[in-house]
Chains A and B, each alone.
Chain A
């Protein structure tokens, strides 16, 4: 027998996880769409955000400082690796790009392990958001509720940057045809750097705001990376709306399956991905040209 209160609360969990995955996947997908590089270190960016935030939190005791530190640190890391390494791979085969970002991911994870050890750490939510909230039909942890709002605002901000600003217009044009954008006299390399930074920051931000829910450890990024891939395959590579829909679908599948048997949540995720691949090979909102 299904316990309805439990079911609704799991749906909510799925919604929160989905929003988080949507944010992380948007970062991955705009990087791929604009630069043509699939960043296998994206999971490590999520992890770095959590750690940078945790370090800031231990010094300041402020959650806000942790969020700012986490996301801006990862943005800087993104910009630096784009400048130093990724830039030299734009003209190399996709396989080389995958190998180098995979290697970078390992370097980041092992560096964190080297400095902070393998044990997990946690960042408590801000005092105002501790406890539970009575929603009338169910009770729900206040921070998770707030998380939904925080991630929602971040997604809106990303949407605003992408669809309402000049730089966003250039990025979207670059997703369609970066050679053309280059020949229009726009310095695409500077745009690429910025996109890589913003994409990484989306993951870093998600990493720190999620830290009060799931504690941080050097290898938290791996699971997130795999889930992000499924989201992107379902939603369509290079599509921002696709990342959001894919994220929500994946979040609900994971949460609802977990209610019955957590061991099957990946199987169900995989079934969903296979179904999409068979019925719509380019993803729900992807287009044929973007590969």
Chain B
């Protein structure tokens, strides 16, 4: 945690930017190269928020870079508008608006579709700029005569018309860009963006509007691109049409990957390598375009062997050298031996709902799910009372998980109706249902693997404290009221307090399982569904988890699927048995144990043959 030096990164950036003009010329960088590096670095910050933090690889950033730049340049050269900064900001805003519209289309799909659509978008913008809009953009000539910024403070006039004065202008805006980006990635929105990168489905299941946040990242990236495009025109005194070329998009992607995605500074480092090599090959070695071949090869090697890029490698190296202390697994297991769930104060259920009422909290009527000819669930009637703990058992393939998926609205039922706290939730989205206080822990762990335990729980708790969608881009994560308490309480409950700073990928299986339950718990659900919470656990872990489940059951409604019938019957008040997609019987554990139909189902007598 960097709480000790909250502005360390900002401070170091400022120092580096001030020192750069004194150091870089000795290393063979010309001032115009340094200026271009800053523009690419700023362009890349936005792209890094989109790609490195949110996991959306766009090959269409040139569209926004060009749009912002052209709009600003058009204002400054073809109209009477003469305020340079206002023009650049307007250009960035236009790029953001265009980004919003394009994002609505491109974000309809994910993964490779998203990449392909952004490629197509970039190409469309290129052609539109060259042809239908050439009257405004100068076509292949671009827009010459973009003025340099002048600030008249009354007593002194600042004009940024030489290379190094331009440097101070660009460095100032780069610094502003870094400060804003740091605020964004440290905000609740930033935390959710990284959750979306790691596991979009779980992020949605924890009550976050994934599409809205992706669109936010897309617009932020477009604004950065548009702003950088505006600066490009001002720096060169000319807005080149090749800002719109697909190569521009490719260049920002490659620079970010070379420098390291998810670091904010990676693009700057990548741009430095890129432009330095380009100058070196062309001006010193006189090898013309060969530099691009060399860069291409370097890039392929980096992607193959050094996926986190240069900055990522430095960070990793620093961690190794600094020998960050880690709690050994042995130590952790001693910790868990001392753990007693009964000591921990039970966590209150959702604070959203009013006072708990008696009667059913959840009611399903005639719930049916068909996949083509296969009927997974057929005409299920099901009701759970407030405060009840219900068990669901059934042989493999009985449709238990499908049933849960319909209750949490992950899949829509073919027919039937689901009422939660008296409200019809049939057809709602999984995020909305989580916001209402109904969530699930998964049979197969759905965690945010690259994040720490603490960050995982934070993301889950944010769904409850902030609602489905909120644009608190500049708010600190520490400023969210009640968040830390919720995370610490949940961690204590699932016995992961000692592991809060450990990345999920380093956890033992049992710990991951507990975190899985913790994620669901941190949303403060009033109805918690647990899909095989004991699956894959050792006998001692089972005992521990049963104790945990007992403690969280106080004051909460739970439905538990599990195959460990002895443990389950110890926990629950009533049991529902599913078989071949239908309800076989409801009843108290004792009744179920001795029910002949249940015994038959489990012993395989269903098809008239004895197992």
Partners in one complex: yes
B300 sits at the interface (CB 8 A): yes
Q: Assess the B119–A229 pair: CB atoms within 8 A.
A: yes
B2 sits at the interface (CB 8 A): no
Q: Assess the B246–A262 pair: CB atoms within 8 A.
A: no
Which of A7-15, A95-103, A144-152, A194-202 sits within the interface?
A95-103
Q: Pick the contact of A263 from B111, B132, B246 — CB < 8 Å?
A: B132
Q: Pick the contact of B253 from A99, A113, A114 — CB < 8 Å?
A: A99
A264 sits at the interface (CB 8 A): yes
20 A/B residue pairs, CB under 8 Å, sorted by A: A85-B300, A94-B111, A94-B112, A94-B115, A99-B57, A102-B59, A103-B303, A104-B300, A107-B293, A107-B300, A118-B289, A222-B246, A226-B123, A229-B116, A233-B117, A237-B112, A265-B127, A266-B123, A266-B126, A269-B120
Q: Assess the B120–A233 pair: CB atoms within 8 A.
A: yes
Q: Which residues of chain A from 186 to 237 have any CB-CB distance to chain B below 8 Å in the complex?
A: 222-223, 225-226, 229-230, 232-233, 237
Q: Pick the contact of A98 from B115, B289, B295 — CB < 8 Å?
A: B115
Known: A94-B111, A106-B250, A264-B131. A230 touches B300 (CB 8 A): no
**A148 to B114 CA separation, bound complex (whole angstroms):** 32
Q: Assess the A98–B300 pair: CB atoms within 8 A.
A: no
Interface string of A70-93 (1 = CB under 8 A from B): 000000000000000100100010
Q: Size of chain A's interface in residues, with CB distance under 8 A?
A: 45
7 smallest beta-carbon distances between A and B, as pairs: A263-B131, A110-B293, A106-B296, A229-B116, A103-B300, A107-B296, A38-B112
Q: Which residues of chain B from 97 to 154 have any CB-CB distance to chain A below 8 Å in the complex?
A: 105, 108-113, 115-117, 119-121, 123-124, 126-128, 130-132
Known: A113-B289, A270-B124. A277 touches B131 (CB 8 A): no
Q: How many Å from the CB of A196 to the closest CB on chain B? A: 16
Q: Which residues of B contact A (CB under 8 A)?
A: 51, 55, 57, 59, 105, 108-113, 115-117, 119-121, 123-124, 126-128, 130-132, 246, 250, 253-254, 257, 289-290, 292-293, 295-297, 299-300, 303-304, 307
Q: Assess the B112–A102 pair: CB atoms within 8 A.
A: no
Nearest residue in B to A262 (C-beta to C-beta)?
B131
Q: Assess the B132–A95 pair: CB atoms within 8 A.
A: no
A273 sits at the interface (CB 8 A): yes
Q: How many Å from the CB of B291 to the closest CB on chain A? A: 9
Q: Which residues of B contact A88 (CB under 8 A)?
A: 304
- How many pairs, one residue from A and one from B, have CB atoms within 8 Å of each other in the complex? 121
Q: Assess the A110–B296 pair: CB atoms within 8 A.
A: yes
Q: Which residues of A contact B130 (CB under 8 A)?
A: 263
A267 sits at the interface (CB 8 A): yes
A183 sits at the interface (CB 8 A): no
Q: Assess the B55–A95 pair: CB atoms within 8 A.
A: yes
Q: Which residues of B contact A118 (CB under 8 A)?
A: 289
Q: Assess the B120–A230 pair: CB atoms within 8 A.
A: yes
Q: How many Å from the CB of B370 to the closest CB on chain A? A: 16
A65 sits at the interface (CB 8 A): no
**A252 to B120 CA separation, bound complex (whole angstroms):** 17
A111 sits at the interface (CB 8 A): yes
Nearest residue in A to B117 (C-beta to C-beta)?
A233
Q: How many Å from the CB of A276 to the closest CB on chain B? A: 11
Q: Given known contacts A99-B57, A103-B299, A263-B132, what 12 new A-B pairs fall within 8 Å (CB)?
A: A98-B112, A99-B303, A104-B300, A107-B296, A110-B289, A226-B120, A230-B116, A232-B116, A233-B113, A233-B117, A266-B127, A278-B108
Nearest residue in A to B118 (C-beta to C-beta)?
A229
Q: Which residues of B contact A264 (CB under 8 A)?
A: 131-132
Q: Which residues of A contact B299 (CB under 8 A)?
A: 99, 103, 106
A274 sits at the interface (CB 8 A): yes
Best-surrounded residue of A106, A222, A233 (most CB of chain B within 10 A): A106
Nearest residue in A to B56 (C-beta to C-beta)?
A95
Q: Assess the A261–B131 pair: CB atoms within 8 A.
A: yes
Q: Assess the A99–B257 pair: CB atoms within 8 A.
A: yes
Q: How many Å from the CB of B106 to the closest CB on chain A? A: 9
Interface string of A235-274 (1 = CB under 8 A from B): 0010000000000000000000000011111110110011
Best-surrounded residue of B51, B296, B307 (most CB of chain A within 10 A): B296
Q: Assess the B297–A273 pair: CB atoms within 8 A.
A: no
Best-surrounded residue of B55, B120, B128, B289 (most CB of chain A within 10 A): B120
Q: Which residues of B contact A278 (CB under 8 A)?
A: 108
Known: A99-B253, A103-B254, A107-B296. A263 touches B128 (CB 8 A): yes
**A229 to B289 CA separation, bound complex (whole angstroms):** 28
Q: Which residues of B contact A222 (CB under 8 A)?
A: 246
Interface string of A98-135 (1 = CB under 8 A from B): 11101110110011011000100000000000000000
**A194 to B424 CA separation, bound complex (whole angstroms):** 53
A168 sits at the interface (CB 8 A): no
**A222 to B126 CA separation, bound complex (whole angstroms):** 13
**A222 to B109 CA separation, bound complex (whole angstroms):** 23
Q: How many Å from the CB of B123 to the closest CB on chain A? A: 5
Q: Assess the A266–B124 pair: CB atoms within 8 A.
A: yes
Q: Assess the A273–B117 pair: CB atoms within 8 A.
A: yes
A143 sits at the interface (CB 8 A): no
Q: Which residues of B contact A95 (CB under 8 A)?
A: 51, 55, 57
Q: Which residues of B contact A103 (CB under 8 A)?
A: 254, 296, 299-300, 303
Q: Which residues of B contact A107 (CB under 8 A)?
A: 293, 296-297, 300
Q: Which residues of B contact A92 (CB under 8 A)?
A: 307
Q: Which residues of A contact B113 (CB under 8 A)?
A: 233, 237, 291
Q: Which residues of A contact B117 (CB under 8 A)?
A: 229, 233, 273, 277
Q: Assess the A277–B109 pair: CB atoms within 8 A.
A: yes
**A26 to B132 CA separation, bound complex (whole angstroms):** 32
Q: Which residues of chain A from 1 to 25 have any CB-CB distance to chain B below 8 Å in the complex?
A: none
